[in-house]
Structure 1
Amino acid sequence: MRERDELDVAVKAVRELEAGIRDNVELIELGEAEGDAEIIKDAENALIELKQEARRRQIETLLSGEVDANDCYVEIHSGAGGTESQDWANMLLRMYTRWAERRKMKVEVLEMHDGEEAGIKSATILVKGHNAYGWLKTESGVHRLVRISPYDSAARRHTSFSSCWVYPVVDDSIDIEIRESDLKVDTYRASGAGGQHVNTTDSAIRITHVPSGIIVACQQERSQHKNRATAMAMLKSRLYEAELQKREEAANAQAASKTDIGWGHQIRSYVLQPYQMVKDLRTGVESGQPSLVLDGDLDEFMEAALAQRVGVATDVTSD
C-alpha cells in the first residue's frame, strides 16, 4: 500500500505539471491575441514556478534507495571546545528541527544531554515524514562554525565543530539478528525536564553493541521497558545503516576517493564573522545568508549533495 501511495503521488505530480504547462501556454497565446501584457506576464511567472517545481520533483526521483522513504534518527554531538561546541550543537539541533517543520514532518526528542553552561552535549531526535531519511542522509558528517564568541569577554573569533549522524528507521520486514550476549546495557537517571518520576528513577537506558562499538540511548519515556524497546529499535537501525554504508562505499569507492565524501568528514562550514557564508565542501554550493540556513533553509544543499551522490549533474546555486 505504501508503494502504491508513492506511485500515486508521483503520477499525480506529473499530471499536474503537464496541465499547468498546457494551461499557461494557452494563456500566453490568448494574451498575445488580445494584446494583454498582464495575462502574458502572469502566465510566464507561473511557468517559471512550474519549472522550479519540476526540478524539485526531478531531485525527488533520486530518492529511490530501499529505505529512503523511511523515518530517520538524527544524532548530534558537540565536539571539543566546551561551551562553544555545545552551543553550536544546539544550533544544529534547531536547524534540523526547523527544516523538518518546514516540510510538515514530525520531530520527537528521544535523548538529550544539556551542556554545563549552555547548549547541549548530545541529542537524538526521531524525524517522521515521507522521504525523511532520503533527504537527511546527506547531512551526516562534521559541521564547522566560525563566529565571534558570545561567551568570550574579549570578543575573539572562535571555530567550533559538531557532528551529525543520520540513520533510517527500519521496520520488521528487515531481519537483523542481535545477540543478547553482544549487548552491554546500562541504566541511569534521566537529566533535564521531565517530572519527578523521570528525574528520580533509573529509567533511562544506554545500550552498547560490543562487536561494532555502536552506542544508543533513550530517556524519553518514564518506563525503563519502553526506553529499552526504543533503544533496541535505534540499535537495529544503526546496524542496518552501517551495512548500507558498507555497500555504498564498495559500489562508489572510486567516486568517494575523488570527492572525499567520507562518513564523519567535515562536510560544511558556517561562517558568521568576519563575513557571512555557508559553504558545502563536497558540492561547492554556497549561501550568503547563514541566518536562513540556520533557520532550516537546507534544500539547496541537500539537493546538490543528493545529486552528486548518485552521479547526476546539477546547477544548484544560492544567492
Structure 2
Amino acid sequence: MRAEALSLVEAVKQSVGLLRRHLDVETAERRLAELNAKVEDPNLWNDAEAAQKIMRERTDLDDRLGSLARFESELEDAVGLIELAEAEGDADVEQEGIDQLKNLKLEAERRQIEALLSGEADANDTYIEVHSGAGGTESCDWARMLFRMYARWAERHKFKVDVIEETSGDEAGLKSGVILVKGHNAHGWAKTESGVHRLVRISPFDSAARRHTSFASVWVYPVIDDRIEIDVKESDCRIDTYRSSGAGGQHINTTDSAVRITHIPSGIVVACQGERSQHKNRATAWNMLRARLYEQELEKREAAASATEASKTDIGWGHQIRSYVLQPYQLVKDLRTGTTSGTPDDVLDGDLDPFMEAALAQRLEGGAQAAIEDVE
C-alpha cells in the first residue's frame, strides 16, 4: 500500500488500541451481560430512577463496544478495498478506500477524547445560556446566531433540545436565552464553550454598511442528579414572575407564567418561560439554580485540585475565547487553542466539533501535566 494509506491504517489501529485499553473490553463485556440480565427483569421499572440509570449505563457500554467492533470491521474493509484496487490498478477505488480510512481516523480520534470525559458531571445533560453584550440590536442579533448555532450543534449529535428561556431583543435578536441539551456526554462536550464570543461583520442594521464588532457571552452548566444535595434556602432568593416574551402563540403572553429566581448570596440569576404553567416554570427554574450552584462548587473543587484551572479567571466578560470574522475576510479562530476554520457559515450552522475537541484535548493535557507535577 501507499505510504499515506499505511500511515492512516497505523493511526486507526493506535486509536482503537487506546480505546480498548481505556474501556477494558473484557470487563465491559461482563458488565454489559449483567445489565442485559437486569433489563430483562420484569420488576426493573418498579424503581424508575434506578431503571433509568441502568438503561443509560447499558446504552453507553453497548455503544462503546459496538463502536470498537465497527472500527475494526471498517478498517479491515477499507484495507481490503485498497489492496483490491491496487491489484486491479483502479486509482479511483483506491482513493475511495483512503477516504474511508481518513474518516475512520477522525472518528476514532474523536472517540478517544470522548472516552476521557470522566469529570463528575461530564455524562450529564447540560444547559447552554447565551446573553447579548453591549451594542444593542447588533449584539442581540449575534446572541440569536449563537443560540441557533448551539441548537444546530446539538441536533447534529442527535441530542434533544428544549428551549427553557428566550427573551427577545427590543428590535431584533435575543437579549438572553437558555436551551437544555439532553444526551450522553452533552455537558462533557459543551463545557469548554463558556466565555465571550466576538463577531466582526458588515452590520445588516447599518444603512452605511459599516463593519461592526459585537460580543455575546455563553455559559454552560450541567443538569444535576436529584440525589445530589444542594442546600438552597428560599429566604436567600428573590422570585419574580412576568409575562413571557418569546415565541409560543397568544396564550404565552396573556399570563405572568415566566419565573425568574435571583440567588442573593451568589448573585446567580436564572429564568424559565418554556412552559405555559407558572408552576412548571418555577420547578424548572429551581432545578437550573441548583445546577448553577453545583457547577460553581465544581469549579471551586477543580481550581483547588489543579493549577490549570486558574486560567478560568480569564473566561469572563471582556476576555473572549473565540472570534468569528465574516468581513473583510472569513475566519473563525479559537484564541485558547489556535484552532481555525475558513468557513464561518459551517461553524455557525453547528460545526463546532473541531473547536470542542481541541479545547478538551488542551484541558486534558493540562490536567495530566498538573498531575505529573504534583507527583514530582
TM exceeding 0.5? yes
Counterpart pick for 2:158 among 104, 108, 119: 104
Measure how far apart 1:82 and its partner are: 0.5
Report the equivalent of 2:19. none
Report the equivalent of 2:245. 191
Report the equivalent of 2:202. 148
One-letter amino acid of the structure 1 residue matched with residue 101 of structure 2: L
State how far apart, in whole Å, the 1-side matches of 2:157 and 2:254 are: 37
One-letter amino acid of the structure 2 residue matched with residue 251 of structure 1: A
Checking the alignment, whether the CA contact within 8 Å between 1:62 and 1:306 is kept in structure 2 is no
Measure how far apart 1:237 and its partner are: 0.7
State how far apart, in whole Å, the 1-side matches of 2:313 and 2:342 are: 24
Measure how far apart 1:260 and its partner are: 7.0
Q: Which has the higher contact order (CA 8 A, sep 6+)?
A: 1
Report the equivalent of 2:315. 262
Measure how far apart 1:85 and its partner are: 0.5
Counterpart pick for 1:176 among 220, 230, 233: 230
Measure how far apart 1:270 and its partner are: 0.6
State how far apart, in whole Å, the 2-side matches of 1:34 and 1:125 are: 53
Report the equivalent of 1:82. 136
Measure how far apart 1:138 and its partner are: 0.8
One-letter amino acid of the structure 2 residue matched with residue 173 of structure 1: R
**CA RMSD between the two structures:** 2.1
Counterpart pick for 2:213 among 132, 154, 159: 159
Measure how far apart 1:31 and its partner are: 4.6
State how far apart, in whole Å, the 1-side matches of 2:84 and 2:170 are: 66
Measure how far apart 1:47 and its partner are: 2.1
Report the equivalent of 1:129. 183
Matched residue SS, 2:201: strand
State how far apart, in whole Å, the 2-side matches of 1:118 and 1:255 are: 37
State how far apart, in whole Å, the 1-side matches of 2:297 and 2:313 are: 20
Matched residue SS, 1:160: strand
Checking the alignment, whether the CA contact within 8 Å between 2:308 and 2:366 is kept in structure 1 is no
Checking the alignment, whether the CA contact within 8 Å between 1:205 and 1:217 is kept in structure 2 is yes
Residue 48 (str. 1) matches residue 102 (str. 2) = yes
State how far apart, in whole Å, the 2-side matches of 1:222 and 1:172 are: 24
Measure how far apart 1:136 and its partner are: 0.9
Listed as ranges, the matches of 1:162-311 within 5 Å are 162-254=216-308, 256-257=310-311, 262-264=315-317, 265-311=319-365
Give 5+ residue unaligned stretches, structure 2. Answer: 1-53, 368-376
Cα distance, 1:33–1:85 mapped onto 2, change above 3 Å: closer
State how far apart, in whole Å, the 2-side matches of 1:276 and 1:215 are: 36
Cα distance, 1:10–1:154 mapped onto 2, change above 3 Å: same
Residue 24 (str. 1) matches residue 82 (str. 2) = no
Matched residue SS, 2:64: helix
Counterpart pick for 1:92 among 122, 146, 166: 146
Q: Deviations over 1:211-230 (max 9, x none)?
A: 11111111111211111101
State how far apart, in whole Å, the 2-side matches of 1:155 and 1:135 are: 37
One-letter amino acid of the structure 2 residue matched with residue 52 of structure 1: L
Cα distance, 1:181–1:43 mapped onto 2, change above 3 Å: same
Report the equivalent of 2:119. 65
Measure how far apart 1:10 and its partner are: 1.2
Matched residue SS, 1:310: helix
Measure how far apart 1:27 and its partner are: 4.0
TM-score normalised by structure 2 residue count: 0.78
TM-score normalised by structure 1 residue count: 0.91
Q: Deviations over 1:103-159 (max 9, x none)?
A: 112211111111111111111111112211111111100000111111112221111
More deviation in 21-30 or 300-309? 21-30
State how far apart, in whole Å, the 1-side matches of 2:176 and 2:227 are: 30
Measure how far apart 1:304 and its partner are: 0.3
Q: Which has the higher helix share?
A: 2
Matched residue SS, 2:218: strand
State how far apart, in whole Å, the 2-side matches of 1:218 and 1:286 are: 35
Q: Deviations over 1:244-282 (max 9, x none)?
A: 11122223324644x975355310001111111110000
Report the equivalent of 1:317. none
Report the equivalent of 1:316. none
Give 5+ residue unaligned stretches, structure 1. Answer: 314-319
Q: Give the paired residue count.
A: 312
Cα distance, 1:157–1:172 mapped onto 2, change above 3 Å: same
